[in-house]
C-alpha cells in the first residue's frame, strides 16, 4: 500500500498535459514524451513505485484518484486498487498494454549551450496571458551582443502582428534569435534555469524541484 504525495500528483497532472500516456518504471523517477516527440520531461518524485506499469489515459487515472479524499494504492501485476483510507470505498483500475504507450527510449543530453537565462514563474505567466490576450502562438527569444535578452510573444506569420516583450536577461553573449511555440511550454509552476542550443533544443531545469524539460526549437 502507498499514498501519492501532493508533489507526485502535481507532476502527474503536468505530465498529462504533455502526453495522456505514461509508462512508470520501478523507482522514483518518471518521464514522458509528447506524441510529436518535441517535448521530453523527467522528474524525480518523493514517492517510490515498486513495480512497472503503463497508464493509457493519465487524466482518467487522476480523475479516479479524485473520487477519494485520501486514497491508498495497492498495486498488483495488471491493476491497482484504490482504497479510501479507513475503508468504505474502493476502485480497481487496470493498466494498459505497455506497447501502446509513448515513452522516451533514450536519455537526452544538450549538444551545446549557446544561451542561458532564468525564466521566472511571473515571466511565464505573463507570456501565457499575452499569448491568450493577443491570440498569437509564437515566442521569440532574441539577444543582441552586449544587450538585453528578450522573450517576445508574437505571430511569426503575420508582419503586422501585435506583440508583447519581456526582458529575461542581460549582457547577451552574441546576436541570436530562437523560436518556440507557446503551446510547447508545458511547465510545472516555478522558476527555471534555461539553456538553449543552436542545435535546435532547449533545456528547462526547475530551480527548486527535481524536474526538467527538453523542448525542441521551431525552425528559423
DSSP string, 180-193: EEGGG----SS-EE
Give the list of residues 6+ apart from residue 8 with CB closer than 8 angstroms, or none: 45, 46, 47
pLDDT digits (tens, 9 = 90+) for 110-151: 999 999 999 999 999 999 999 999 999 999 999 999 999 999
Instruction: Give the pLDDT of residue 86.
Output: 81
* Residue 108 within a domain: no
Counts for the chain of helices (H) and strands (E), in that order = 3, 15
- 188 phi and psi angles, rounded to 5 deg: -65, 145
Instruction: Give the pLDDT of residue 87.
Output: 79
CATH of the domain at 73: 3.70.10.10
> pLDDT-based confidence at 105, cuts 50/70/90?
confident
Instruction: Give the pLDDT of residue 139.
Output: 98
* Residue 85 within a domain: yes
Which of 97-111, 148-162, 196-210 comes out lowest in average pLDDT? Answer: 97-111
181 and 139 in a single domain? The answer is yes
Task: Tell which of 100, 133, 151 closes a domain.
Answer: 100
Residue 140 parent element (H or E)? strand 138-143
- 19 phi and psi angles, rounded to 5 deg: -155, 135
Region 68-93 average pLDDT: 93
* Residue 195 within a domain: yes
Instruction: Give the pLDDT of residue 1.
Output: 85
Distance CA 149, CA 165 (A): 10
Q: Is the pLDDT of residue 220 over 90?
A: no
Instruction: Give the pLDDT of residue 204.
Output: 98
Average model confidence (pLDDT) for the chain?
96
Region 32-58 average pLDDT: 96
> pLDDT-based confidence at 85, cuts 50/70/90?
confident
67 and 155 in a single domain? The answer is no
Distance CA 23, CA 25 (A): 7
Distance CA 64, CA 55 (A): 12
Question: How is 144-185 classified by DSSP, letter by letter?
Answer: -TTS-EEEEEE-TT-TT---EEEEEESS-SS-EEEEEEGGG-
Domains in the chain: how many in total?
2
Distance CA 136, CA 185 (A): 14
Q: Residue 218: which region, alpha, beta or left (left: phi > 0; alpha: psi -120 to 50)?
A: beta
* Residue 154 within a domain: yes
51 and 10 in a single domain? The answer is yes
> pLDDT-based confidence at 88, cuts 50/70/90?
confident
85 and 144 in a single domain? The answer is no
* Residue 127 within a domain: yes
Task: Tell which of 100, 133, 155 closes a domain.
Answer: 100
Q: Give the domain extent around 139.
A: 115-216
84 and 126 in a single domain? The answer is no
The CA-to-CA distance between both ends of the chain, in Å, stands at 50
96 and 149 in a single domain? The answer is no
Percent of the chain at pLDDT above 90? 95
Residue scoring higher pLDDT (220 or 162): 162
Cα 66–Cα 72–Cα 76 angle in degrees, nearest 5: 110
* Residue 110 within a domain: no
Amino acid at each position: 500500500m502507498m499514498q501519492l504525495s501532493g508533489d507526485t500528483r502535481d507532476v502527474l497532472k503536468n505530465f498529462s498535459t504533455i502526453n495522456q500516456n505514461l509508462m512508470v518504471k520501478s523507482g522514483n523517477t518518471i518521464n514522458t514524451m509528447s506524441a510529436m516527440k518535441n517535448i521530453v520531461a523527467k522528474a524525480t518524485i518523493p514517492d517510490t513505485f515498486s513495480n512497472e506499469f503503463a497508464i493509457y489515459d493519465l487524466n482518467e487515472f487522476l480523475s479516479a484518484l479524485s473520487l477519494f479524499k485520501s486514497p491508498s494504492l495497492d498495486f498488483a501485476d495488471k491493476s491497482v486498487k484504490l482504497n479510501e483510507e479507513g475503508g468504505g470505498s474502493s476502485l480497481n483500475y487496470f493498466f494498459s498494454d505497455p506497447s501502446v504507450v509513448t515513452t522516451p527510449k533514450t536519455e537526452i543530453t544538450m549538444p551545446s549551450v549557446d544561451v542561458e537565462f532564468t525564466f521566472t514563474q511571473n515571466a511565464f505567466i505573463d507570456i501565457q496571458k499575452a499569448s491568450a490576450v493577443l491570440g498569437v502562438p509564437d515566442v521569440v527569444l532574441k539577444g543582441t551582443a552586449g544587450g538585453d535578452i528578450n522573450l517576445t510573444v508574437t505571430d511569426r506569420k503575420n508582419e503586422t502582428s501585435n506583440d508583447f516583450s519581456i526582458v529575461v536577461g542581460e549582457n547577451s553573449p552574441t546576436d541570436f534569435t530562437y523560436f518556440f511555440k507557446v503551446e510547447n511550454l508545458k511547465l510545472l509552476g516555478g522558476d527555471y534555469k534555461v539553456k538553449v542550443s543552436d542545435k535546435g533544443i532547449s533545456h528547462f531545469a526547475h530551480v527548486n524541484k527535481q524536474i526538467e524539460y527538453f523542448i525542441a526549437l521551431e525552425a528559423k
